[in-house]
Structure 1
């Protein structure tokens, strides 16, 4: 890991910074940090052979006696979800491991933890009834502030990280984001649908794109939700002739929402489950 390497998503970027600090000088302050955030659970942790990895789907070490999922967000309560929203492709923000423990970390700097992600993470740890520990950024910052070290560089890094506290606390999950949306990945190289329109430029139209071939399907929609309902019905009726992996209601659909006249960087990729918008009579 490189502390100066910029990560594209905010959670990834700040996770990388924190994990680089914890990894500094052969994990010098890692025990203090872990004891501070989970004092009861970590009493018997052994920190020999410590290891930290970010953005890795599977645990880098074999199963250990002590294993936990630790979720950190400005607010503790989670976002409710249905099985259709369950994000099976979700990648943990970080793994922190020692001789007898494995910890999976999930960070959110806006709002609350996403329980769909937490459910997906549970399947990555081969342990029945894996415990999920939910913490706020206040707890993390209190722990960082209490760390004792004589290393001047480390003290400087810790102080600078503490200055991020207000930025995390002010972030909230966008109230306008539909709960059906599970990710925002650019999938222009796969089958996807372009939804073009806005309140100013109506009606909305839907185009299907694959291998750079674009086909207009319809152009008479009143909004994005109506367009997605049409897309879900279209896929349901034509899936056997489409270049996609169809797995019923949990089939993942990608769309790209375009507002005419808006800067390209503000247009949005979205992924959602077929069953979230499908109505079959």
Structure 2
């Protein structure tokens, strides 16, 4: 990147809008040491979509309206918000002045990013971004901040500065506000009955005590499975995948996506009576590829 671009994307430079500020921090982390972890991050977000990407001539640009590179064979729009669904818009609404939050480009791909730290995506902005790519049928990949944090959490690096920056970015997620459900349990939860005499998983962690860990418990024996997860959702996704992969050896009645999973959520330092039992279906957190 040239000197001008470096000055425009400085991790210590405050941006006036919250979304711009947090986008700038994330992109600075991804740009560190000639985009050292950027390929891992993109592969974590895109999985098989990125199989044919050529991770050379990488560049990152923030708050730039037009794509900084010429058209490429692979071009995608990323919409990232607490909720995947978008806010509808009127056909008469003018979003032509909409500026993408970030561009990530490589030898044969261009990725446009639109971030929201509250609520949902604005479909008017997404439509305007398609025009920036000159592709009305451009594929839009809608993700949540959980997907972003999971991709970052799975990055392997021995660089202590990067490890420090990533851990601090994980702590920012509390500032990304999702709309709270009006009442009751999350929609994925089907009941909250104590099932300590059956196979169950213990999820331990809280906002103040990270990372989260997952243990498997049965017949009085507890086994640690993971201790590096970023939250309850990530823990349940891991549990669902673990059950699916080990279904033939676990003492459960496997019923595909309808398989019932038991977990016990523990927050260190919290009164035991406030810890919670939960039952949910495997298909709520795990989809076979």
Q: TM-score, normalised by structure 2?
A: 0.58
- Deviation per CA, 1:111-151: give whole Å up to 9, x if none: 00000110111100023510000000010011111111000
Provide the rounded CA distance (Å) in 2 between the counterparts of 1:40 and 1:80.
29
Alpha-carbon offset, residue 171 of structure 1: 4.0
Secondary structure of 2:127's counterpart equals helix
Q: Distance in 2 between matches of 1:61 and 1:162?
A: 30
Q: Which runs of 4+ in 1 moved over 4 A?
A: none
**For the Cα contact (< 8 Å) 2:87–2:120, is it kept in 1?**
yes
Query: 1:158-215 deviations in whole A, cap 9, x for unaligned?
Result: 00000112221x3449xxxxxxxxxxxxxxxxxxxxxxxxxxxxxxxxxxxxxxxxxx
Determine if the alignment matches structure 1 residue 51 to structure 2 residue 59.
yes
1:6 to 7, 14, 18: 14
**Which structure 2 segments of 5+ residues have no match?**
1-8, 181-289
Conserved 8 A contact 2:24-2:62: yes
- Of 153, 156, 173, the residue aligned with 2:161 is 153
Partner of 2:171: 163
1:120 corresponds, among 125, 128, 133, to 128
| Equivalent runs, 1:1-281 vs 2, <5 Å | 1-168=9-176, 170-172=177-179
* Preserved contact between residue 88 and residue 122 of structure 2 (Cα < 8 Å): yes
Distance 2:117 2:85 in 1: 14
Partner of 1:241: none
Q: Could you list the runs of 5+ residues in structure 1 that have no partner in the other structure?
A: 174-281
Query: How many residue pairs were aligned?
Result: 172
- Structure 2 Cα separation of the partners of residues 10 and 150 of structure 1: 30
Structure 1 distance, partners of 2:161, 2:94, is: 42
Q: CA RMSD in A?
A: 1.2
Q: Which residue of 2 aligns with 1:235?
A: none
TM-score of the pair, normalised by structure 1: 0.60
Q: Distance in 1 between matches of 2:160 and 2:65?
A: 34
Contact 2:130 2:136 in 1 (8 A): no
- Conservation of the 8 A alpha-carbon contact between 2:87 and 2:122: yes
The aligned residue for residue 191 of structure 1 is none
